[in-house]
Amino acid sequence: MYKSYHEFADLFSKLSPYELNHLSEVLLCKLEDGLESKLYSKAAKRALSEKDIKSALTDAMREISLELYEREISEEHIKLGKAKAMMFTPQNVAA
């Protein structure tokens, strides 16, 4: 499952802002169809607006993209560290 999630998130991170907006609108429509406007905030006792849900979905997708970039940077730092270790490791040279 991690692999498929990572692949989805990786592809998702390549979406343009327009595509992200479109995707969040599609997800919002599916939420509305499935829940028939029955989403309520327990804390505020008020119905969630379309803007609230769309914003939450978009923010979640953006956060996933940032996490993927951070993970990629971390992996590249590890690779760089290994490359430096290999290049600068003293080795005995036969005379």
Residue-wise pLDDT for 49-92, tens only, equals 777 777 777 777 777 778 778 889 999 999 999 998 888 777 66
Q: Is residue 79 part of a domain?
A: yes
Q: Is residue 16 part of a domain?
A: yes
What does the pLDDT read at residue 11? 82
Q: Is residue 71 part of a domain?
A: yes
Residue-wise pLDDT for 9-50, tens only, equals 788 788 888 878 877 777 777 666 656 555 555 555 666 677
Structural domain count, the chain:
1
Domain of residue 74, residue span: 2-87
Q: Is residue 19 part of a domain?
A: yes
Calpha distance 66→73 (Å, rounded) = 10
Q: Is residue 13 part of a domain?
A: yes
Q: Is residue 95 part of a domain?
A: no
Q: Is residue 93 part of a domain?
A: no
94 band by pLDDT with thresholds 50, 70 and 90 = low
Question: CB count, 10 Å around CB of 24?
Answer: 20
Q: Is residue 73 part of a domain?
A: yes
N residues, the chain: 95
